């Protein structure tokens, strides 16, 4: 029997990344997590030198990975008219540039070896205009196009897809009260009537990695949150 391909989870120290790593380990897959803190390897995805070092260390430890999941990212809120210019560099830098740098670094040895699958974490906000989240929306929209172009350029050796969660109960939500009006309202607007969990998204990531005839796709996983327009036709036309 062929041993399962080893896996790398970037952002695997907490949240969705930790859930992905746990599911893969349960399936008997050897997993190495990268994170700024709490991973097997320390790596800041804004630093190309750290990415190169983590890639070399990964290959030295257990060979070329066949499964790569990139969940590293940051949130942001702020109106476009009020947000400091430097926030653009930070948010787009992490969520788009940083993810691209990681995918590029790991795709190199994968393409030279036996190939494999990359799944990057996007968001339903890449295609929904969320007021007060413009920079985050833009960063994830950029990532969606990077995923599509990478899938075209790195085929047939490497498949590249994305997962687009809705509002998910992870540390990225910060101190927002889970029983507060905002998150309770999100759960109420979601078809499945709850927030997503890290394991909900990890389950979908696992499925995407296993779909060998799919590449360049962004798969929504939001419990039906994006089924509805944010405009309430019976109330105020506001988000």
Q: In whole angstroms, how far apart are CA 114 and each of 6, 134, 157? A: 12, 39, 7
- Grade residue 165 by pLDDT with cuts at 50, 70 and 90: very high
The pLDDT score that the predictor gives to residue 130 is: 84
Which residues, in sequence order, are bridge partners of residue 67?
Answer: 7, 117
Mean pLDDT of all residues belonging to the chain: 91
Query: For the purposes of burial, counting CB atoms within 10 Å of the CB of 188, is it exposed (0-12), middle (13-18) or buried (19 or more)?
Result: exposed
Q: Which of 67, 225, 218, 196 is nearest to 140 (CA)?
A: 218
Catalytic residue check, 136:
yes
Catalytic residue among 105, 136, 167, 220: 136
Please, which residues have CB within 8 angstroms of residue 106's CB and are 6 or more apart in sequence? Answer: 8, 55, 58, 65, 68, 118
Kindly tell me if the per-residue pLDDT of 71 is higher than 90.
yes
Instruction: Compute the distance between CA of residue 105 and CA of residue 134 in angstroms, rounded to an integer.
Output: 28
pLDDT in tens, 184-237: 888 888 999 999 999 999 999 999 999 999 999 999 999 999 887 665 544 444
Quick one: pLDDT at residue 237?
43
* pLDDT of 181 higher than 80: no
Set out the domains of the chain in order of their start, with CATH numbers.
Answer: 7-223 (3.40.50.720)
Please say whether the beta carbons of 82 and 50 come within 8 A. Answer: no
CA quadruple 135, 141, 146, 149: dihedral sign? negative
For the whole prediction, is pTM greater than 0.85? yes
């Amino acid at each position: 029997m062929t041993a399962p391909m080893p896996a790398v989870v970037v952002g695997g120290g907490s949240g969705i990344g930790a859930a992905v790593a746990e599911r893969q380990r349960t399936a008997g897959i050897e997993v190495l997590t990268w994170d700024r803190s709490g991973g097997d390897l320390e790596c800041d995805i804004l630093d190309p030198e750290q990415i190169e070092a983590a890639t070399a260390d990964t290959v030295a430890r257990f060979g070329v990975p066949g499964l790569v999941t990139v969940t590293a990212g940051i949130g942001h809120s702020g109106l476009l008219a009020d947000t400091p210019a430097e926030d653009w560099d930070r948010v787009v830098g992490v969520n788009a540039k940083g993810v691209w740098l990681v995918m590029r670094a790991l795709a190199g040895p994968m393409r030279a070896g036996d190939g494999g699958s990359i799944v990057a974490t996007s968001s339903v906000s890449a295609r929904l205009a969320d007021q007060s989240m413009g920079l985050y929306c833009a960063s994830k929209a950029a990532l969606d196009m990077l995923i599509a172009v990478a899938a075209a350029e790195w085929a047939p050796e490497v498949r590249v897809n994305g997962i687009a969660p809705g509002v998910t109960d992870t540390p990225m939500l910060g101190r927002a009260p889970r029983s507060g009006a905002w998150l309770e309202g999100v759960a109420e607007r979601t078809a499945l009537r709850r927030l997503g969990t890290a394991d909900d998204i990890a389950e979908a990531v696992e499925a995407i990695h296993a779909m060998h005839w799919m590449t360049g796709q962004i798969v929504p996983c939001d419990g039906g949150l994006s089924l509805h327009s944010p405009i309430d036709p019976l109330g105020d036309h506001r988000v």
